Structure 1
Amino acid sequence: MIRIFNNFLRLLFIARTLARHDALFFLDNFERLPLYVVVLRKVMPVFALGAARSKDLRDGERLANALRELGPSFIKLGQALSVRADLIGEEMVLDLGNLRDRLPPFSFEKARETIEYELEAPLEELFADFNPEPVAAASIAQVHFATVREMVPAPTEADPDAKEEVLRDVAVKILRPGVESAFESDLQLFFWLAELAERYQPHFRRLRLTKIVEIMADSVELEMDLRMEASAASEMAENFADDPEFGVPEIDWQRTARRVMTQSRVDGISISKKEELVAAGHDLNALSDNVIRVFLFQVLRDGFFHADMHHGNLFVTADGCLVAVDFGIMGRMSRETRLFMAEMLHAFLTRDYKRAAEIHFEAGYVPRHKSLDSFAQACRSIGEPILGRPVSEISIARLLVQLFQITETFEMETQPQLLLLQKTMVTAEGVAQSLNPDINFWESAEPTVAHWMRENMGIEAQAADVMKDGIALMRKIPAIVTRADDLLSEMEAREKARADLMELEESATQQRRIRGGYLLGGVVLGAVAAYLVVLAA
């Protein structure tokens, strides 16, 4: 009851903020709502004092402004919704996709307090210099530039082991004070709203809103521990260790803790600054191709991808290397899911719609009672308007958006594990197109996808899988034999115990019979003796 009351109060505040931005329009699309929500929808605009008059803005723009004002949890929610064209429409997807985490910075005193508490040392001991002004302030954390002292080898003829002190530039990321509790409160509200939506709108159940909120909660939990982000950066650095065209900042583990992360500073130009990139002599077309290549390597080759690859998180160094930052949101994909995605995209882009439909059925994404031929026809209705255009106009992101729009017709449940991938693919394509408007995602992606499919889906790959499975089985054989031997020994022990128990029971029965015979004999002898005594008397 207390939870419902708290959620209702929070909902009132949220509704007032949405009303101020004239962003309660989405409630009009519900078929039926609880009475108190209907009343709220009618009266809230009246009480939304100081309402932002933004009739000239689109619905999605007004909603984005309201979510930005509501804070970090709602910015994350807007980003999650920005990949659900089947739920909110393509136009609103574009508007919410423009959400950026822009919040006022917290004070330097709070930053110092967090650093010294987490790293258990005074700020002056940890850093040679620390800029009190943040260079970036987002919904979850803010970043300060600093320098650290390091002793590096400087051998001389007189002293081969000599060292000298150098200064190294770093970036320090610090969580916002109280951000954990703020997210926890809002996530409870999101769960409650998802449950209400699924209860009062049965057709929403296939969207698995509760599951989506669970994934969001898991993602936020990881983001709240900067050690996990540092670990993700370290893993991706290993995956691309031999790649000269993609880099990851080096983590300073000695100055990293749960709420503080220190990494090497990126000396480069933001990929959003096209004029500066051109002035520095960079080839924008090559950078555009590299964005797609790196994205596909992360997804297909590694199954571990940066799920927030927007312009603000990508930089270009002087030698043309693409460097990513902010590894708080990461995605993982099993090999089976990667195979599905690769084959599905390949089927669409080669116009093999029957195979595209079969892949969805084989993956269990479409219920078996639905018609395979009808789903293939639906796939064709999506693919032809897109693929029939000139190659420069083909958009993989648009293809995915269109594909998700047919899910309701065929009772397809939302696949939460694919949402991050869809969001990242749309974002990566957007970044690539901002550098080269004429880029064709498929032309850039085809060599990487085709090579990966040959290696992972060809006859040799299948034979390798069989061989791998066989080797794995052979490795298990000793354990299987040992387990079987243990089971046989256990069965023998049980059988012996049962035999011993039966023998004991039989022995006990015989002893009872003997004792019974002795007792009966005693009774008879006693009776005879008594009879003789009576006769003698």
Structure 2
Amino acid sequence: MSLGSTFRLFHAGWVLAREGAFSVLPVESLPPMMKAGIGLARLVERRAVRKTGSIERLNAALHKLGPSYVKFGQTLATRPDIVGVQAAADLSGLQDKMPPFDPKLVPGILEAALGAKAAQLTEISEPVAAASIAQVHKARLRMPGEVPRTVAVKMLRPGVAERFHADTDSLYAGARLAETFSPASRRLKPTEVVRTLDHSMRLELDLRLEAAAISEMAENIKNDSGFVIPEVHWDHVAQNVLTTSWMHGIPIRDHAAIEAVGIDRKALAAKLLQSFLRHAIRDGYFHADMHPGNLFADPRTGDVIAVDFGIMGRIGKSERRFLADILYGFITRNYRLVAQRHFDIGYVPPHQSVDDFTLAIRSIGEPLHGRTAADISMARVLGQLFTITDLFEMQTRPELVLLQKSMVLVEGVARTLDPNLDIWTVAEPVVAEWLRREEGPVGRLEDLVGHLTRMGEAAGRVPRLMAQAELALAEHRAMMNRPRDRLMRGLALAVLGAALVLIGALIWRVLTLP
């Protein structure tokens, strides 16, 4: 842990405390130790924050601290039910209204990245969206012999990689400090969580990987409806430049404009939540940065349009089954299933009681049933979850961190579109369809094919393994037949025997001393 990263961590804490970042957290829902820490942090708040409760300067502070802190602010901006309506509004500018970098740098960035093909991008606009990692321009793509097309050109901010690495160094420092001085935090595995987020953010710094993510998701959803993504123009993609088709849509947070064109906000919220669940449960590959700045509504069809695929989440078959069973358990009020799956995947240690954990899950699930989003206090629910995780020594699964963070984002956006959203009713068709498929003939057949494929691969390796074993055996026999090797082996055994006799004699001498 370097001194510089530790200093940056404490500097970030000071800046966040001064600008009121800790004032938006639901203190009443947190454990006593966290309450005490936030109380101390709030002692240094600016007087204006204490007097008005407004955190309008926090946006600028988070931007100065670095992209990782901006991501945290973006998540809070989607949860007015947790941080309050005013705080969420103050933080919403982090989603796509950050100060752009110097426009004079744009031509040089494009030429260095794309070479001669940069000249095919013309009529480049001022930034239409500027976020912590990159900014987007509207442009015209003029390819020889083709009709000009309107495109979106995304460019990484100059120097963003260095800022990001400084961020993650300080986050690692904070995680290690937590593990050192707070044994209770170790079950949350803060270092592994930071490592997971670090990996996803490193991928975000290469726009070629984002182009590949768009391509993979396009294949996954080609037969779906209700969710639309842009098309990649591969000839104009580089590590720091991404060119895609231009998507005409209404920002999903502009509720007045959405209603003005006749789009049903309730239907839009359902499409958003169901699409996300479908991608996570069915495909195991999902958009992991679905804040309102990355989401639009198609004015013609009412579909969800998603952009910015820099952060993607991927989960395996067992994690997908875990998610589906948890949701299905809450939907059907089968709390025993929910509890058992937490034990199966290792969230709860085996020495805990499944019956007691089932009771704790019921205490969370029952108050949520039959209620709309407007009636549910997520701050209270989170407080109850904190208590339960501590009581049952629940372990963090780092591979699910992105999924959990993404579900918080998506649910927050859906709740703003439809305050009366019934999450369980909306989720049920997607979850039930996947479970029926997995338990039905198609799912069983796919499992069988998977097993047979793995057996075939293993069988294919047998001849090579046998050949290697025969070669090793032949070499061993040749070595045994060489007189010099037999002599050396005999000497080695003699030395080993003498050493054992000497050690035995020393032990006997020590034991028999008067």
CA distance in structure 2 between the partners assigned to 1:442 and 1:29 by the alignment: 28
Residue identity matched to 1:120: G
Matched, 1:384 2:366: yes
CA distance in structure 2 between the partners assigned to 1:193 and 1:136 by the alignment: 31
Residue identity matched to 1:337: E
TM value normalised by structure 1:
0.77
Would the aligned equivalents of 1:60 and 1:91 in 2 still touch at CA under 8 Å? no
Do the aligned partners of residues 501 and 339 (structure 1) sit closer, same or farther apart at CA in structure 2, a change above 3 Å counting?
A: same
Residues 102-141 of structure 1: pairs in structure 2 closer than 5 A: 102-121=97-116, 123=118, 125-131=119-125, 133-141=126-134
CA distance in structure 2 between the partners assigned to 1:505 and 1:13 by the alignment: 68
2:157 aligns with 176
TM value normalised by structure 2:
0.81
CA distance in structure 1 between the partners assigned to 2:187 and 2:58 by the alignment: 24
Would the aligned equivalents of 1:395 and 1:440 in 2 still touch at CA under 8 Å? no
Residues 435-450 of structure 1: pairs in structure 2 closer than 5 A: 435-450=417-432
Do the aligned partners of residues 332 and 11 (structure 1) sit closer, same or farther apart at CA in structure 2, a change above 3 Å counting?
A: closer
| Count of matched residue positions in the alignment of Structure 1 and Structure 2 | 476
Once the 2 structures are TM-superposed, how far is the Cα of residue 289 of structure 1 from its aligned partner?
Answer: 2.1
Matched, 1:335 2:330: no
Would the aligned equivalents of 2:82 and 2:379 in 1 still touch at CA under 8 Å? no
Once the 2 structures are TM-superposed, how far is the Cα of residue 286 of structure 1 from its aligned partner?
Answer: 2.6
Matched, 1:246 2:239: no
CA distance in structure 2 between the partners assigned to 1:389 and 1:19 by the alignment: 35
Give per-residue Cα distances to partners, 1:179-228, cap 9 Å, x unaligned. Answer: 11111112111111211121111111112111121122112211111111
Do the aligned partners of residues 257 and 93 (structure 1) sit closer, same or farther apart at CA in structure 2, a change above 3 Å counting?
A: farther
Residues 49-64 of structure 1: pairs in structure 2 closer than 5 A: 51=46, 53-56=48-51
Do the aligned partners of residues 30 and 355 (structure 1) sit closer, same or farther apart at CA in structure 2, a change above 3 Å counting?
A: closer
2:283 aligns with 302
Give per-residue Cα distances to partners, 1:317-367, cap 9 Å, x unaligned. Answer: 323332210101110010110001111221222222222211111112111
Give per-residue Cα distances to partners, 1:119-138, cap 9 Å, x unaligned. Answer: 12385x2323212x211111
Once the 2 structures are TM-superposed, how far is the Cα of residue 93 of structure 1 from its aligned partner?
Answer: 12
Would the aligned equivalents of 1:82 and 1:94 in 2 still touch at CA under 8 Å? no
Once the 2 structures are TM-superposed, how far is the Cα of residue 78 of structure 1 from its aligned partner?
Answer: 4.2
Once the 2 structures are TM-superposed, how far is the Cα of residue 62 of structure 1 from its aligned partner?
Answer: 8.5
1:364 to 340, 346, 355: 346
Do the aligned partners of residues 81 and 489 (structure 1) sit closer, same or farther apart at CA in structure 2, a change above 3 Å counting?
A: farther
2:414 aligns with 432
Residues 262-301 of structure 1: pairs in structure 2 closer than 5 A: 262-301=243-282
Residues 60-71 of structure 1: pairs in structure 2 closer than 5 A: 66-68=61-63, 70-71=65-66
Matched, 1:227 2:176: no
Structure 1: tracts of 5 or more residues without a match: 152-163, 507-537
1:10 to 8, 11, 22: 8
Once the 2 structures are TM-superposed, how far is the Cα of residue 269 of structure 1 from its aligned partner?
Answer: 1.7
Matched, 1:216 2:214: no
Would the aligned equivalents of 1:81 and 1:93 in 2 still touch at CA under 8 Å? no
Do the aligned partners of residues 463 and 129 (structure 1) sit closer, same or farther apart at CA in structure 2, a change above 3 Å counting?
A: closer
Residue identity matched to 1:17: V
Give per-residue Cα distances to partners, 1:272-293, cap 9 Å, x unaligned. Answer: 2222223223233332221122
Matched, 1:75 2:70: yes
Larger Rg computed on CA atoms:
1
CA distance in structure 2 between the partners assigned to 1:502 and 1:212 by the alignment: 58
Would the aligned equivalents of 1:386 and 1:399 in 2 still touch at CA under 8 Å? no
Would the aligned equivalents of 2:100 and 2:127 in 1 still touch at CA under 8 Å? yes
CA distance in structure 1 between the partners assigned to 2:309 and 2:229 by the alignment: 10
2:397 aligns with 415
Matched, 1:319 2:317: no
Would the aligned equivalents of 2:74 and 2:291 in 1 still touch at CA under 8 Å? no
> Percent same amino acid at aligned positions?
41
CA distance in structure 1 between the partners assigned to 2:365 and 2:146 by the alignment: 61
Residue identity matched to 2:106: A
Once the 2 structures are TM-superposed, how far is the Cα of residue 248 of structure 1 from its aligned partner?
Answer: 1.3
CA distance in structure 2 between the partners assigned to 1:66 and 1:55 by the alignment: 17
Residue identity matched to 2:232: I
Residue identity matched to 2:288: A
Structure 2: tracts of 5 or more residues without a match: 488-514
Superposed CA RMSD in Å reads 3.8
Once the 2 structures are TM-superposed, how far is the Cα of residue 467 of structure 1 from its aligned partner?
Answer: 5.0
Residues 472-491 of structure 1: pairs in structure 2 closer than 5 A: 472-474=454-456, 476-480=458-462, 482-483=463-464, 485-486=466-467, 489-490=470-471
Would the aligned equivalents of 1:82 and 1:423 in 2 still touch at CA under 8 Å? no
Mean alpha-carbon deviation: is it higher for 288-297 or for 61-70?
61-70
1:21 to 5, 12, 19: 19
Once the 2 structures are TM-superposed, how far is the Cα of residue 471 of structure 1 from its aligned partner?
Answer: 4.7
CA distance in structure 2 between the partners assigned to 1:291 and 1:304 by the alignment: 15
CA distance in structure 2 between the partners assigned to 1:58 and 1:373 by the alignment: 44
CA distance in structure 2 between the partners assigned to 1:82 and 1:406 by the alignment: 26
Give per-residue Cα distances to partners, 1:259-311, cap 9 Å, x unaligned. Answer: 11111111122222222223223233332221122112211111100011222
Residue identity matched to 2:248: D
